[in-house]
Amino acid sequence: MNSGNNIVIAAFTLNGINLALRLSSYLDARVFVPERFISVNSRLELISGSLSEWSGKFFHESRALIFISSCGIAVRAIAKHVTSKTHDPAVIVIDESGKYIIPILSGHIGGANELANKISSFINESQAIITTATDLNNIIAPDTWAVNNNCVIENPEAIKNVSARLLENLPVGVAVTDQNISAPYPVTLYLRPRVLILGTGCNRGVNPDEFERAAKNFLESSGVSILSLKALASIDIKANEPALIKFAQSHNIPFVTFNSRELQELPGKFTSSQKVLQITGVDNICERACVKAAGENAVLMRNKFIYSSEITFALARSDLRDY
């Protein structure tokens, strides 16, 4: 799913622009128009280049694109930018009178259906036109459940099979686990809950590629999926370490740090190192950092492990009762 947070609206008529401005206040969205309408309101921005070029730019930067236009205009604008249901943003079409709100792309994972219903509740006498079969049959789609429960879909190609079986009232195979287990069903959809915290300490200037390889090896040997990582955690003196920042960005997780006092005062049994204590003010960085980041009721799954004397890792799981 697109990681952007902003919503953009494109409008092409005066009625459409007035509706777009109303929606922009409600959704905290930006409104773009052709050049001939740019002077209508100071809040309007220009659709630069072709509409397809504009769509391509915001396909990668936004969580939702709203076209106040015909469906044909929207479809032609986004056609060459569509990739997959796990990456595409929500795309919604609204007629200029605001009567019909139609999600046309990424209804579940991208949240287009949910956004359409939200818009419909805002515009009087409007109707969200939802066409996905699971929604029409009041069945919670597996990809919608995954998004709402902070899970990463490992094999989205299995969604179609699972949804079809749900619609036929047949048993389905879904594994919600952070563990690397063999497929328990003929077709198994793996949903990876974001519950794991990777704690780390490292020498200054560690090679980013080496750190990436070491982290993947550590997680694999721990029997868990890297997709279940919720955060990377360390001490604050590592907050600007390029290898750690790159790893967090590559895996779309936050990189959180704590000062030595916060870590040292954390209650619990941890592997202690006098050398680390003398240098940093805390006797263990990786174990304490991952437990601290995991929060109340955290479980330390794997103790400190040293890679090539430069990198240390530990692994904690946050409270599973959240799932």
Q: Which residue has the higher pLDDT, 309 or 302?
A: 302
How many angstroms from the chain centroid is the CA of residue 272? Answer: 35
pLDDT digits 0-9 by tens, 140-157: 888 889 988 999 999 989
The residues facing 65 across adjacent strands are 8, 91
1 confidence band (pLDDT: 50, 70, 90): very low
Q: What is the pLDDT of residues 67-98, one digit of tens each?
A: 999 999 999 999 999 998 888 999 999 999 99
Predicted local distance difference test score (pLDDT) of residue 25: 94
Out of 25-39, 161-175, 220-234, least confident range? 161-175
pLDDT tens digit sequence for 200-245 = 999 999 999 999 999 999 999 999 999 999 999 999 999 999 999 9
The CB density around residue 177, as the number of other CB atoms within 10 Å, is: 17
The answer to whether residue 323 scores a pLDDT higher than 70 is no
**Helix H or strand E encompassing 140:** none
273-308 confidence digits (pLDDT tens): 999 999 999 999 999 999 999 998 899 999 999 988
Per domain, the residue ranges of the chain are: 6-131, 142-193, 196-322
Beta strands 229-235 and 100-105, pairing class = unpaired
In degrees and rounded to multiples of 5, residue 197 shows phi and psi of -115, 125
Q: What pLDDT, on the 0 to 100 scale, is given for residue 308?
A: 81
Mean pLDDT score, 44-58: 95
pLDDT at 320: 64
pLDDT band at 134 (very low <50, low <70, confident <90, very high): confident
Give the strand pairing for 100-105 and 189-193: unpaired
Amino acid 128: pLDDT:
94
Percentage of the chain surpassing pLDDT 70? 97
Q: One-letter amino acid identity for 103?
A: P
CATH of segment(s) 196-322: 3.30.420.180
**Is domain 6-131 in CATH 3.20.20.70, yes or no?**
no
Q: Greatest CA separation found in the chain?
A: 71
Residue 268 burial class via C-beta count within 10 angstroms: exposed 0-12, middle 13-18, buried 19 and up:
exposed
Is 70 exceeded by the pLDDT of residue 160?
A: yes
Least Cα distance to 126 among 149, 101, 160 occurs for 101
The rounded distance, in Å, linking the Cα atoms of 113 and 110 is 8
pLDDT band at 194 (very low <50, low <70, confident <90, very high): very high
**Percent of the chain clearing pLDDT 90 (strictly above):** 77
What is the structure's pLDDT at 271? Answer: 93
The pTM of this model reads 0.76
Measured between alpha carbons, how far is 2 from 90 in angstroms, rounded to an integer? 9
The pLDDT value given to residue 140: 84
The per-residue pLDDT of the chain, averaged, comes to 93
Higher pLDDT, 135 or 117: 117
pLDDT at 319 over 80: no
Average pLDDT over residues 95-114: 93
Say if residue 2's pLDDT is above 60.
Answer: no
At 261, the pLDDT band (50, 70, 90 cuts) reads: very high
Mean pLDDT of all residues in 240-254: 96
